[in-house]
Amino acid sequence: MRKLAKAVLVLLSLYVVVMGGSGLLIRSMLSGGVGEGLRRKAQALLPVEVTIQGGDFDIPEWFYFRPAISFDSLRIANPPGYGDQPMLQADRVAARAKLAELFGGHVAIESIDIERPRLSVETAENGKTNVQALLDALSKAPAEAQEPADSNAATGFRVASFVLRNGEIRYTAPDSSRWSCGI
């Protein structure tokens, strides 16, 4: 019985060292430019300026094999021809993935939590909103920016939970009238 307890203790210690060490390594990689890499990818897809600040890897979630990352600030600018204020801002964005499915070629997100999202919808004189202008620009983006270079790349994408906390939607009409609602 004592040998079994000793073996369990050794295995548990090994687990803590491996998971803690790899979690710290992943956290240092994230702070060392992975956030910037994600921003560049988003910037390549969107025809407007994208700003992501901060970045963290959740080590306690990693011990449960649920990789989770968060960013302190997200900002997506308005398309040309609309106001100077950002179209979308959020104070914090966090996502947790299912590790097993990442190895299977699918992106399975357990949850995406967005804190204090603020969406500013503006309608131009031509009747088109800034959201529609951005979607139109996305649909006209070059094919190489939208499709993965590797034909074997992951094609499945699923989100199990999407949470918005303390958000606000602001709408501005061409006549400068405004309204807003909380979500």
pLDDT score of 144 = 47
pLDDT score of 31 = 63
pLDDT score of 41 = 75
pLDDT score of 96 = 85
- Which residue carries 């025809």 as its tokens? 47
CA gap 57, 78 in Å, rounded: 29
The token pair that represents 182 in the structure block:
């909380």
pLDDT score of 100 = 65
pLDDT score of 75 = 92
**pLDDT lower than 50: segments of the chain:** 144-146, 149, 151-154
Q: Which of 55, 48, 91, 97 is nearest to 73 (CA)?
A: 91
DSSP run (H or E) holding 97: strand 92-97
pLDDT score of 156 = 60
DSSP run (H or E) holding 103: helix 99-103
* Cut 0.85: pTM above it: no
